Structure 1
Amino acid sequence: MNATVEQLAPVEQQATTGWVVAALYQFKEVQDAAALKERLLNLVGSINLCGTLIVADEGINGTVAGDRVAVDAVHQFLLDEGFKSMEYKESHSTEKPFRKMKIKLKKEIVTLGVEVKPRDLVGHYLDPKEWNELIARDDVILIDTRNDYEYKAGTFKGAIDPQTETFREFPDYVKKELEQHKDKKIAMFCTGGIRCEKSTSLLLQEGFNEVYHLKGGILKYLEETPADESMWEGECFVFDGRTAVTHGMEEGANIKCHACGWPLVPAEVELPSYEHGVSCVYCIDKTTDKQKEGFRMRQSQILAAKRKRL
């Protein structure tokens, strides 16, 4: 397959009723991923949709947002294309969660960088109730497979942070930190479930005996689990304009630093280090004055564009 191909489709202003947000994925052999990408582009060019869909030989992955008609249209399109076992979850956003609609052609729908077979070899799926029972045990190693900034926003009580900046780093973490625990019960989780499809497949491929993961990921857990029965702490980082969600899939209180991407709780926004679009407590010492001035210019351009649309 060629290098990543990306094409944008225009998105009209959404009505005041809010946005339906659909997160979806499925590992499924795609005979001609490039042709599927083109069919998707034809579809999204005619409906009010924004977000990102990634197409590869191994399946489809992404999050889209739009009105009810648009989201239903792309959902039905994918069902008609044979994606009948999608992990599919909906939530809502009061504001437009993505700037544009992107369709990307890639080698993997989630990049691990190591060949695994999630359609053939995968860990034990657990629903939220089963998950709570498992991770409450003392003989279970609980691992958050997400990136460091996602862990910062919230995680399950007692979860290990692999301190990875990208999912590509996870195989190295397994080799360095988990090799000696092949006979232990390993429980892993991620936002929507897709990264755990690959991470559990990787561990089984490497000879681990008991590997479990949360079906539907954190999003499904927060959707179905009452707060008083939950073992989740904090908020769940999401890759859209909402920054994070919490129980019942409600928008959280975290906001994103648009300079470095890290989620910030309200108290961190009040610190002198925070300047919207320019810096926060996590990045203020990592950029030069020249870079900060560039961020300020970018922020002023964004605000000017918003005023123009209004």
Structure 2
Amino acid sequence: MASVLNISAYRFTPIADPAGLREVLRERADAGGLKGTILLAEEGINLFLAGPADAVRGFVDALRADERFAALTTKESWSDDQPFRKMLVKVKREIIRMDRPTVVPADGRAPAVTPVTLQRWLEQGHDDDGREVVMLDTRNAFEVDYGTFADAVDWRIDRFTQFPDAVASHRDELAGKTVVSFCTGGIRCEKAAIVLREAGVEAYQLEDGILGWFEQMGGAHWEGDCFVFDQREALTPALQIMDPVATRRL
């Protein structure tokens, strides 16, 4: 049985002193024998950790004891081996870079749709108001090539900072439709859905992203695997490591 617990989590919340918090979290992670990456910025926290289950969950429990992170939710998967080489804790300008300082999810997130509701919409071919549903992949092109939702819109962006300009270019194509933006764990969609709504698009974000969909719905309406930013490379809808001889989605 796989013995290494892998988690991803994020939270948009004001952090006045990310540099000071960096030292605290680095010491705590090292003490637990954890590896991975934690990104801190004044806008929040974004983390990917792996290690023994008790140590990982203990780290998360301690983090949630801080009221800024009390609502932190995690996505879990398992592996036989440690997928990270080292433990990094970095202070950044943004925990997910978009270069749009006016987009502040902590001030109010765009509405989200749960996997259960989205499953119903996809099965019936429209949302509950009869509008066409468009699945919009907000990830970079190389990630999309590993797998995505069936018939999803993919603007072939190379980095997330290009997303706002892509919205401006394709806005008219989305008029009158219900757009569900999605990404790996949900963090990019927090900003993407805000940008879409500011452009006048009826947009929602998929709650907990692709990994949350896999947890609840498995591979329904999904084609391929899901790229992850560690040595596992990609996960199947069963949240298992991708078959190394598998072919990416064309």
Calculate the TM-score normalised by the size of structure 1: 0.73
RMSD between superposed Cα atoms in Å: 1.9
> Is the alpha carbon distance of 1:157 and 1:267 closer, same or farther for their aligned partners in structure 2, counting shifts above 3 Å?
closer
Following TM superposition, the consecutive aligned residue runs of length 4 or more in structure 1 with deviations greater than 4 angstroms are none
Query: Is 1:31 the equivalent of 2:16?
Result: yes
1:125–1:214 Cα contact (<8 Å) kept: yes
Aligned to 1:22: 7
Aligned to 1:130: 117
2:196–2:203 Cα contact (<8 Å) kept: yes
> Of residues 172, 194, 199 in structure 2, which corresponds to 1:201?
194
Report the 3-state secondary structure (helix = DSSP H, G, I; strand = E; otherwise coil) of the residue aligned with 1:266. coil
What 5-or-longer segments of structure 2 have no aligned partner? none
CA distance in 1, matches of 2:92, 2:242: 31
1:203 is displaced (CA, Å) by 1.5
> Of residues 57, 72, 79 in structure 1, which corresponds to 2:57?
72
What 5-or-longer segments of structure 1 have no aligned partner? 1-15, 256-264, 269-310
Aligned to 1:163: 156
Query: Is 1:218 the equivalent of 2:207?
Result: no
Aligned to 2:89: 103
> Of residues 222, 230, 246 in structure 2, which corresponds to 1:266?
246
**Paired letter, 2:30:** G
**Paired letter, 1:236:** C
Number of residue pairs matched?
A: 240
If asked which structure has higher relative contact order (CA below 8 Å, sep 6+), I would say: 2
Q: Percent identity?
A: 36
Deviations, residues 179-230 of structure 1 (Å, cap 9, x unaligned): 553443211100001100110111222333x211210111011111144xx1
Calculate the TM-score normalised by the size of structure 2: 0.89
1:74 is displaced (CA, Å) by 1.6
1:237 is displaced (CA, Å) by 0.8
Aligned to 1:57: 42
Larger radius of gyration: 1
Query: Is 1:240 the equivalent of 2:230?
Result: yes
CA distance in 1, matches of 2:197, 2:29: 38
Aligned to 1:117: 104
CA distance in 2, matches of 1:183, 1:176: 16
